[in-house]
Chains A and B, each alone.
Chain A
């Protein structure tokens, strides 16, 4: 793993003031700085959209966590993106209740509307589509999130409206 990081990342980037400020705030919640590794990655991702090698190294240096350990955390979690994603990440639930109520058809609809499969980003960098495990919203299935927003009882028509809404905002 050391090799992978060493071969792609040039060096740590400078963390921004905002990032440092938020990481410092999280540090007050734990007796050890190492505990905020995930939070720091999430903070970086909030501002940068994803966690580049340069960002990972920056957090690693800042919190004094070996890069391999931090990479072990980063790659463990579904919601830490180690590759660039679009401005809006569509998280479509593909677990059992949503599957029973037609999430495969919704996925096909999104794919044909936006021209992206799971893991892909539209050419204009507006949307990335990712499947997520059960969103804990099964009584309102099928469900998905776009960024931090939850959308429930989905149909193809609703998805069209949601996508149009994000496009209009851009």
Chain B
């Protein structure tokens, strides 16, 4: 038996998610029994060897990230699942949580064993009300069936999982801001180091991982490292969920081998552009990534390859910009989002983003000046990496700087004639 779609094998559109019994009958809840026979450090080692990269945007090796947590000292340690999913254009964690909540719970149990966490929190964005209901049900079922609580499956490992629902703020997805939010504080990011693996929630070792990252854990510990490695194309390991929004024939998200190209995603899965629209550019992985152009479509969706082309894979849910949509207006919309969601802690972000938004508004209304283009370029530098307290502002600068690179003619024509798209 060889499963090639471990993340979505239980998902069927229009059907209710599997109950505990159905999930188990489909081969679920086996990974903990395998893991608990090993030392926790060896479970980490397996996850590391599997080559699983974090699916929250940065792509860091998950097992390696876990291995930075200090050895247990008998005091509490935490696993936190980042389910804040607010990056514009991203809707993959919604699918996983709404449609197969037990996969996340199983992943959390096995991951918690690896890092020896006694408590797990799911930090869920408040707007995901269906995910909230389905997760609460799944957690209750897992308790009823002895997969959560004291001495799971007769082992000496115990774990509680709680669901925290947030109230809408993008910065809470940044892992140190998330930790502040969980502690009940205003969600400004924290200084790093110390990293959360060492000192996170209430000063204790804390691992923050994305939903999809954790959903990969059951497969690795059930079917093994070699199986996981074999899922990817070429040298790549595993599968991941990629998707498309914008004017394509069939927008959505799907599980596919790591290493699939943007073209396959766009043309085979999403059915290509809608009739009458031509692809002008695309954001490869959410609103905080640099635009790529049609000539980049044959790149595999791998962080390194996308970085070489001058962007980031991010969440690997792409947004297409068509020829009838204004690129300046698109960037203005993105910047408005980031300006609104800035936590206000540091100046380049708090004051820079509204200024950029103001300039882009002027341009859209035909009141831009040539010197505004220079100001925009300069702002990209101020908001860039190293000048701000967290990665929100550098992320916001990415679509701006790349649009200045690829669409300078559009900026100039906005200054001269205003916006010519309806």
Q: A residues engaging B (CB < 8 A)?
A: 29-32, 34-39, 41-42, 65, 69, 72-73, 76-80, 91, 94-97, 99-101, 132-141, 145, 148-150
Closest-CB distance, B295 to chain A (whole angstroms) = 22
Interface size class on chain B is 35 or more
State how many angstroms separate the Cβ of B75 from the closest Cβ of chain A.
11
Known: A34-B183, A35-B184, A91-B127. A136 touches B91 (CB 8 A): yes
Cα A91 to Cα B126 in complex, Å, equals 13
Q: Assess whether B287 is in contact with A136, with CB atoms less than 8 Å apart.
A: no
Q: Are B127 and A136 in contact (CB under 8 A)?
A: yes
Q: Which residues of chain A have C-beta atoms less than 8 A from B195's C-beta?
A: none
- Select which of B91, B129, B185, B253 is within 8 A of A73 by beta carbon: B185
Residues in chain B near residue A99, CB distance under 8 A: 329-330, 333
- Please encode chain B, from 71 to 95, with 1 for each CB lying within 8 Å of some chain A CB and 0 for all others: 0000010000000011111110110
B187 interfacial by beta-carbon distance below 8 Å: yes
A34 touches B202 (CB 8 A): no
Name 5 extra pairs, CB < 8 A, besides A99-B329, A100-B321.
A39-B164, A42-B167, A73-B184, A137-B91, A139-B91
Cβ-neighbour of B187 out of A76, A132, A134 (below 8 A): A76
The residue in chain A whose Cβ has the minimal distance to the Cβ of B336 is A94
Which 6 residue pairs are nearest across A and B when measured between Cβ atoms?
Answer: A78-B168, A138-B245, A77-B167, A139-B251, A79-B167, A29-B162
- Using Cβ atoms and an 8 Å threshold, which residues of chain A touch B185? 69, 72-73
Check A96 against B184 for contact (C-beta < 8 Å): no
Residues facing A in B115-160 (CB within 8 A) are 125-130
Docked-complex contact A42 and B88, CB < 8 angstroms:
no
Using CB atoms, name the residue of chain B closest to A131: B340
In this complex, the member of A35, A72, A99, A100 whose beta carbon has the largest number of chain B beta carbons within 10 angstroms is A100
User: A146 to B16, alpha carbons, bound, how many Å?
Assistant: 22
Q: Contact between A97 and B340 (Cβ–Cβ < 8 Å)?
A: no
- 5 residue pairs A–B, Cβ–Cβ below 8 Å: A77-B166, A94-B333, A96-B333, A99-B330, A101-B246
Residues of chain A contacted by B253 (CB below 8 angstroms): 139
Task: Check A97/B246 contact, CB under 8 A, given A133-B88, A134-B337.
Answer: yes
Shortest A112–chain B CB gap in Å is 19
User: Which residues of B sit under 8 angstroms from A39, Cβ to Cβ?
Assistant: 164-165
Given A97-B245, A134-B87, A134-B90: A38 touches B167 (CB 8 Å cut-off): yes
Cα separation A139 to B126 with both chains bound (whole Å) = 19
Q: B76 contacts which chain A residues (CB < 8 A)?
A: 31
